[in-house]
Chain A
Amino acid sequence: MSAILHDRFINRMTLGRWVLFAVLGLFVLYYLTPFYVMTITSLKSLDEIRDGAFMGLPQSVTFDAWGKAWNTACVGIQCDGLKGYFWNSVRMAIPAVLISTLIGAINGYALTKWRFPGANLIFALMLFGCFIPFQVVIMPMARLLGLMGLAGSIPGLVLVHVVYGIGFTTLFFRNFFITVPDELVKAATMDGAGFMTIFWRILLPISLPTVVVTVIWQFTQIWNDFLFGVSFSAGGGQPITVALNNIVNSSTGVKEYNLDMAAAIIAGLPTLLVYVVAGRYFVRGLTAGSVKG
């Protein structure tokens, strides 16, 4: 009797699984096709691209376009490739991500475990900050950066991204820490630990999934940002997104599709890498606290 039930269960599962995998496979194709076209185009020679086999694999694989994109592509009038701009983005994104994540964590901790009068108001204002469109803050931000002597510099961009990101990072951490029992903090207080000791030794370690979510979120936002980059930087100090735009949108000379594709992939790789490395924590972190463990 139970064997029959078991078999039926298996059969139903298999049918359901087939449908599920078919649908998922379709989505995967849909999402990967552009990436596939970009990749093969970047590996073709310009002549082959002109021959027109859009979806076909390259007849002879060449990394020339990648080398050119990295080393010698012309961004505006400078022909030094993307490498300088790539490092600009790294120098902007890493400190901005770390600082905003850390501040968000401390904010979330203070707002939930050391509640002070007006804590809710402050949180509400920070939340409000998440909904302010980029465009609105550009003018006042430009003025402020000018006054601080940070205009057109990478530290300036770091500051902009940190300030703009704090709303989100605080929200993430606050929502996690609110699920952590207050007794944990009380126990640590009785044990003799102070504000920062409790944060570093207990609350930050247990919020690792939230840290990962926040880092992915912030890294994606900051690395991919174009508007702040184009507004608050100039010349050789621009992030890679702006440089990519300047390569692809140059209206003089021959349109080098393989170069454009290689440059676009280079610009997108770091975020891809972050998702691949930390992706499994991402879903786990997003759902943390929603299910009682």
Chain B
Amino acid sequence: MASLEIRALTKKFGDVTVLDHIGLVIQDGEFLVLVGPSGCGKSTLLNIIAGLESETCGEILIDGRAVNDVHPKDRDIAMVFQSYALYPNMTVRKNITFGLKVRNTPGPKIEEMLAAVSDLLKIGSLLDRKPAQLSGGQRQRVAMGRALVRDPSIFLFDEPLSNLDAKLRVEMRTEIKKLHHRLGTTIVYVTHDQTEAMNLATRIAVLHQGRIQQLGAPQHLYDHPDNLFVAGFIGSPAMNLLPGSLSSSDGGLYFRPGDGEDLIRVDHYPFREAPADGAPVVFGIRPECVTLPREVEGQARFEVELVAEAVETNGFDKHVAFAYGASELIGRLPAKAGLVAGQPMRVGFDLSGISIFDRRSERRL
């Protein structure tokens, strides 16, 4: 077990800056998920932590010791790859013990560690098979076994579930979560799937254009996204983002959607600094806060008549697309709500959990 610190890490490929002054402190035993769209540099960051790629500048510290010049094999890190990267010519047994043999671990010790790992991952019956004879889920387990067997102080996962089908992915997600609880090892996990990130992480770092957009607990990122990118990236369906402006009248502060006459009261919103009157903003509201008026509790509410344009049924609720001025607004309504596409209906906004962003800087106000 170990802590990991990354200081002002920058990586350039020629003129392209892939990672730009990344700073991260990962505590011992933490499950940190790096999430972001393809090409945001998250895999590169993971490879640099592993030592498989070199940084342009910056520092990586494991337990306070700089490891920039330490060879990958001596960093006490194990990694699980997206393609699993099992050695095709070796049996499962040899795949798992390869790292131990290369490090000259004594034979009895190897057997003992192999037995422990195959018990833990329930792969005892597969030990004499070759990777080609395994299913996707089994390969995934073996790949984790190969990482686990060395008992490293840090685990790196590079999109380990993206090659599995949806059902298996959910299963393995739970397994990984359990494994983390059991072993308590520090984990850095890369994914482009925000649901996976939300489910697994103790903290999430959202990466975009080579920078960390926000770092925090999953719920905090969901409730208080720092900027428009994070607001749009975390959550499914995505947060509704309405452009408009702030205006104060009658002693109250209101949001006015860009092309509408509606005034949505936002007095209660904890502005980080006092906003200017008429400031151009983006108003963010989660789909679950757009629902039937009777579902909205509390004072911070707003009601409006909207036309449902499309309805998607999920079983436990319905996702409804409303036309609101020039924007589209997604709402989550109870499964039993009787509504007809094309018909106007009353819709309530729960304003207790809204986010407001500056339209120019795209930052949270």
Query: Which residues does A use to contact B, with CB under 8 Å?
Result: 181, 183-184, 186-193, 197, 201-202, 205-206
CB 8 Å contact bits of B71-84 with A (1 = contact, 0 = none): 01100011101110
**With A192-B99, A201-B98: A183-B81 Cβ-Cβ less than 8 Å:** yes
Task: Tell whether B85 is near chain A: CB-to-CB under 8 Å.
Answer: yes
Closest approach, in angstroms, between the C-beta of B47 and any C-beta of chain A?
A: 8
Task: Tell whether B103 is near chain A: CB-to-CB under 8 Å.
Answer: yes
CA of A193 to CA of B103 in the docked complex: distance in angstroms? 8
Query: 7 closest A-B pairs (Cβ-Cβ)?
Result: A191-B99, A192-B73, A183-B85, A187-B85, A205-B89, A183-B81, A192-B102
Which of B79, B86, B87 has a CB less than 8 Å from the CB of A190? B79
CA of A67 to CA of B141 in the docked complex: distance in angstroms? 64
**With A202-B89, A205-B89, A206-B89: A190-B83 Cβ-Cβ less than 8 Å:** no
Closest approach, in angstroms, between the C-beta of B28 and any C-beta of chain A?
A: 21
Task: Tell whether B347 is near chain A: CB-to-CB under 8 Å.
Answer: no
Query: Which residues does B use to contact A, with CB under 8 Å?
Result: 47, 50, 52, 72-73, 77-79, 81-83, 85-90, 98-99, 102-103, 146, 150
- B52 close to A181 (CB less than 8 A): no
Which of A181, A187, A192, A193 has a CB less than 8 Å from the CB of B79? A187
Q: Knowing that A192-B99, A202-B89 are A-B contacts, what are 16 other residue pairs whose CB atoms are under 8 Å apart, sorted by A's residue number?
A: A181-B83, A183-B82, A183-B85, A186-B79, A189-B72, A190-B79, A190-B99, A192-B73, A192-B103, A193-B73, A193-B98, A193-B99, A197-B102, A202-B87, A206-B88, A206-B89
Which of B83, B98, B150 has a CB less than 8 Å from the CB of A188? B98
Which of A184, A189, A192 has a CB less than 8 Å from the CB of B87? A184
- B81 close to A188 (CB less than 8 A): no
- A186 close to B81 (CB less than 8 A): yes
- B87 close to A186 (CB less than 8 A): no
- B77 close to A190 (CB less than 8 A): yes
B132's nearest neighbour on chain A, judged by CB, is A293
A189's nearest neighbour on chain B, judged by CB, is B72
- A189 close to B52 (CB less than 8 A): yes
Which of B47, B77, B81, B89 has a CB less than 8 Å from the CB of A187? B81
Q: Which chain A residues border B99 with CB–CB below 8 Å?
A: 190-193
Q: Which chain A residues border B82 with CB–CB below 8 Å?
A: 183
**With A188-B98, A190-B78: A183-B83 Cβ-Cβ less than 8 Å:** yes
- B52 close to A186 (CB less than 8 A): yes
Closest approach, in angstroms, between the C-beta of B298 and any C-beta of chain A?
A: 51
B143's nearest neighbour on chain A, judged by CB, is A187
CA of A186 to CA of B89 in the docked complex: distance in angstroms? 16
- B98 close to A190 (CB less than 8 A): no
Q: Which of B47, B77, B85 has the most CB of A within 10 A?
A: B85
A204's nearest neighbour on chain B, judged by CB, is B89
CA of A189 to CA of B102 in the docked complex: distance in angstroms? 10
Q: Which chain B residues border A184 with CB–CB below 8 Å?
A: 85, 87
Closest approach, in angstroms, between the C-beta of A67 and any C-beta of chain B?
A: 46
